[in-house]
Structure 1
Amino acid sequence: MNTLDWSTNELAITGLLLFFAIAFLQSGIDKCLDFKGNLAWLKGHFKDSPLASMVPLLLAVLTLTELVAGLFSAVGAVSELFLDLEGWSYWAGLFNILALLMLFFGQRLAKDYEGAKTIAIYMVPAILLLYILP
């Protein structure tokens, strides 16, 4: 790919990747910087759900998944525009969807239907990203 000849598709993919890089890196870094605060809030959020006893483990898994999704998205965005490295955008898309499904599942089990609705909105661009990838 010539870096001066970006297609509309490459720019759309890059925009979606940057969207998820920002969302997941911010969320994952926040969870790392305030793990105890997030854990305390989530323990209360899930106290009446089947996940109550697993919150610390699930928070660690979610944090790692979000960081991977965000990192892959950032590398994928740079790759789309400048490097033409195969696979980063695809793997970013898969990890984005995985992270969103984890969040959606948790919100549904916690009976936080408004929160689940918000996660569902994020799923639209995540699926679109995989759909428009070459």
Structure 2
Amino acid sequence: MTHTEIFGILILAFLALTFLHSGYEKIADWKGTVAGLNEHFKNTIIKNQVSTALGLVWITEVIAGALCMAGIFQLIANGSTTIGHYGAVMSCITLLLMLFGQRLAKDYDGARTIAIYYIPAILAVYWL
């Protein structure tokens, strides 16, 4: 296995873990998550669509995480990075949605945290 393949596996594992765990947490406590986000977005234009927006983010997280996980298996099986690349792109889209929400809520610390996650995601898009 090459250094490039190992790098791809590690970065895809990071993204898969991040998004699949986040998706699980949202489903495990959907009502609590919606309640917390209703408060977070109470002064924004999406105050009446928080549940819908959360559903959209959840869907993109699960797709990103699943594609990254499948990308690991594809990379190990035949060295191809196609699925992993799609997972990385979906990860970036998911993080941009989250960043938009944090900026909308004027939560600049939250936006900064998302930017930190964006760095490995965009590296994965470039690398894979």
Q: Same fold (TM over 0.5)?
A: yes
Kindly provide the amino acid, as one letter, of the partner of residue 99 in structure 2. F
- Which residue does the alignment assign to 2:54? 59
Asked if 1:91 is matched to 2:86, the reply is: yes
Question: Of 101, 108, 111, which aligns to 2:103?
Answer: 108
Instruction: Tell me how far 1:85 sits from its aligned partner.
Output: 5.1
1:3 equivalent in structure 2: none
SS at match of 2:93: helix
RMSD: 1.1
Asked if 1 retains the 8 angstrom alpha-carbon contact of 2:15 and 2:65, the reply is yes
TM (norm. structure 1) is 0.91
Is 1:34–2:38 an aligned residue pair? no
Partner SS for 1:52: coil
TM-score, normalization by structure 2:
0.95
**Contact kept in structure 1, 2:5 and 2:79, CA below 8 Å:** no
Q: Distance in 2 between matches of 1:80 and 1:14?
A: 7
The 4+ residue runs of structure 1 with deviation greater than 6 A are: none
Number of aligned positions between the proteins: 128
* Residue of structure 2 aligned with 1:123, choices 93, 100, 118: 118
1:53 alignment partner, SS class: coil
Alpha-carbon distance in structure 2 between the residues aligned to 1:84 and 1:130: 16
In the alignment, the residues of structure 2 paired with residue 39 and residue 83 of structure 1 have an alpha-carbon distance, to the nearest angstrom, of: 41
Structure 1 spans left out of the alignment, 5+ residues: 1-5
64, 67, 71: which one aligns with 1:72: 67
What is the CA distance between 1:83 and its match in structure 2? 4.1
